[in-house]
């Protein structure tokens, strides 16, 4: 049994398999060809943080593949009244076939997985957002071909998205340029041992974007850090991705954002809505890559 708790739980070969299956599953969906390999399978989704895309994409995806899903929101389960995560894992995983969790510390999902009888998927933690990075890279590949050897510019907070991009750079062999303001840089432990071919750190966002194939950013304040919102607004003021920043990237550079976006903060409205932005395709691809992910975790390497 395999879990997907962080991107590096999967090898390059497994990620390439997922992308191959995503193509097949997406094509069938677009052509109204039913594909239901997960009849009678049940997904439970545990949310300790808010969500729009993650919830809709997993629930719709499971339904389209013939299965069903249950949403457990923190506030209306016994988890919210202090039931240990290990007990929830032992009970829920006797009743369903696969679990997705969105929570705070990565250790919470690791504790859940350690007590689960079924595969567990990370639907976002403070540290990682691997489903989103699968969708982002799949979207890049759809538009521009292989990401290997390319340069991705990450502008802003060194958060769960940024940490996952770094894992992706090492697995899929591309370069990640990170530009963050003082006090919000990548944790040194994450950078240690990563060579210059995969990671370069910048203080100037324009320097990080120069020559990039993809420019990407995220909210300045992630869920769980709301108390820091005002401090972050001033610290990140020079880190908005705008037309000037896109102009120093490659002329065919794409712009991505995992959404929800704040126009006029981390991204200007003209970039978000502009011709280089693929944010809506990126969001849609959550559906398709996660269907491939659930197929792989439940059925292994399918080739039909």
Query: Which residues sit at the interface with ligand CP, rule CB under 6 A?
Result: 51-54, 124, 132, 258-259
For residue 98, give the 3-state DSSP assignment: strand
CB atoms near residue 273 (< 10 Å): 12
CB atoms near residue 198 (< 10 Å): 17
Does position 159 interact with ligand NVA (CB under 6 A)? The reply is yes
Which residue stretch of 60-68, 153-161, 168-176, 294-302 sits at the interface with ligand NVA (rule: CB under 6 A)? 153-161
Considering the complex, state which of residue 131 and residue 208 has its C-beta at the smaller distance from ligand CP: 131
Strand order in the sheet with 120-122: 68-73, 42-47, 98-102, 120-122
Minimum Å gap between C-beta 124 and ligand CP is 6
Q: Is the omega angle on the peptide bond into residue 178 within 30 degrees of 0, that is, cis?
A: no
| x-or-dash string of contact with ligand NVA, 249-278, rule CB under 6 A | ---------x--------------------
- For tokens 């069938």, the residue is 28
Q: What is the DSSP string of 185-248?
A: PPPHHHHTT--TTTEEEES-HHHHHTT-SEEEE--SS-TT-GGGHHHHHHHTGGG-B-HHHHHH
Q: Respond yes or no: is residue 288 known to be catalytic.
A: no
Q: Respond yes or no: is residue 258 known to be catalytic.
A: yes
- Residues 216-235 touching ligand NVA, rule: CB under 6 A, are 218-219, 222-223
Minimum Å gap between C-beta 45 and ligand CP is 11
The residues of the shown chain that bind ligand NVA, judged by CB under 6 A, are: 124, 159-161, 218-219, 222-223, 258
By annotation, the residues acting in catalysis are: 102, 129, 132, 218, 258, 286
């Amino acid at each position: 049994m395999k879990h997907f708790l962080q991107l590096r739980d999967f090898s390059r070969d497994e990620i390439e398999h997922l992308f191959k299956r995503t193509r097949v599953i997406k094509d069938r969906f677009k052509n109204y060809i039913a594909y239901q390999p997960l009849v009678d399978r049940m997904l439970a989704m545990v949310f300790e943080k808010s969500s729009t895309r993650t919830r809709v994409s997993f629930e719709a995806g499971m339904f389209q593949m013939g299965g069903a899903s249950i949403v457990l929101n923190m506030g209306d389960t016994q988890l919210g009244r202090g039931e240990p995560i290990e007990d929830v894992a032992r009970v829920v995983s006797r009743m369903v076939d696969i679990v997705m969790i969105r929570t705070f510390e990565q250790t919470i999902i690791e504790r859940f997985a350690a007590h689960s009888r079924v595969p567990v998927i990370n639907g976002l933690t403070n540290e990682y957002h691997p489903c989103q990075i699968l969708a982002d890279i799949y979207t890049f590949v759809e538009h521009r071909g292989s990401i290997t050897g390319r340069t991705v510019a990450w502008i802003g907070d060194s958060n769960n998205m940024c940490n996952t991009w770094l894992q992706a750079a090492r697995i899929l062999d591309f370069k990640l340029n990170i530009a963050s303001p003082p006090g919000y840089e990548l944790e040194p432990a994450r950078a240690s041992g990563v060579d210059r071919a995969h990671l370069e750190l910048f203080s100037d966002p324009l320097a990080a974007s120069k020559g990039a194939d993809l420019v990407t950013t995220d909210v300045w304040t992630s869920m769980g850090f709301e108390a820091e919102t005002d401090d972050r607004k001033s610290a990140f003021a020079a880190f908005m991705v705008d037309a000037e920043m896109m102009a120093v990237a490659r002329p065919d550079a794409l712009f991505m954002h995992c959404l929800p976006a704040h126009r006029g903060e981390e991204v200007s409205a003209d970039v978000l809505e502009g011709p280089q932005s693929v944010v809506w395709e990126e969001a849609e691809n959550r559906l398709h890559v996660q269907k491939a992910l659930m197929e792989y975790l439940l059925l292994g390497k399918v080739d039909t």
